[in-house]
Amino acid sequence: MLRLFVLLLVLANAGYYAWSHGLLAAYGFAPASQNEPQRLTQQIRPEALRVLTPLDARQIESVPSPADSASASVATSAITSTATECLQVGLYNEEQTLVLKEQLTKVLPAGSWALEAVLEPARWMVYMGKYSSVEAVTKKKAELRGMGVSFAAPGSASLEPGLSLGNFKTQADAVTELARIARKGVKTAKVLQDRVEQKGQRLKLASV
């Protein structure tokens, strides 16, 4: 049961991570448009982070809500896990890691969890936008289909309304793709940095 309580915390944090990184923008759930430095300073408030106690968990379970169910569903898809190994979640900065470590030490036995250093690499995107309206995006999608060029939502509220024509680990790879689709007739796409390199800690929990 204790691991279940910690899993609730993990799910909540993963749901927030998905929301704050614009992963839910296509569904109408996204933070206000902001630049990268602002986003990095407005992540999870470490002083509000805590592990649920058994009493807290029972109180939450006794009052289910649609919003909680939706958050849990999104969070589940954001967690990297296997059925027999472990759960992994988060990219926590130094301050958040200290708070999380203190709380986990109080409620979980040694060896049931671990924090490991993670380097989240930079990411580059071939992007088209911003457009003046949703209708303009719909029109552009039809043009791209006719050219045989794949596309997706950009995944960030600050890039909406717009289209992603691919994400790449290096700027060089993105430029190569831009040249390729230009030969198909795409003229207004550009390469931009979608995510800067980030260092942090990832929480690993024994499987439940």
Q: The CATH number of the domain where 138 resides is what? A: 3.30.70
State in Å, rounded, how far the first CA of the chain is from the last one: 9
Higher pLDDT, 86 or 159: 159
CA-CA distance, 185 to 188, in Å (whole number)?
9
Q: Over the stretch 109-132, which tens digit does the pLDDT of each residue have?
A: 888 888 888 888 899 999 999 999
Quote the number of domains for the chain.
2
Same domain as 114, residue 145: no
- 147 and 179 assigned to the same domain: yes
The answer to whether 115 and 90 have CB atoms below 8 angstroms apart is: no
Burial 164-188 (b: 16+ CB within 10 A, else e): bbbbbeeeeebeebbeebeeeebee
The model carries a pTM of 0.51
pLDDT tens figures, 65-122: 444 444 444 444 444 444 445 677 778 888 888 888 888 888 888 888 888 888 888 9
What is the spatial distance between Cα 198 and Cα 91, in angstroms, rounded to a whole number?
Answer: 9
**36 and 14, same domain (yes or no):** yes
Residues 13 and 77 occupy one common structural domain: yes
Domain with 76 in it: 2-118+199-206
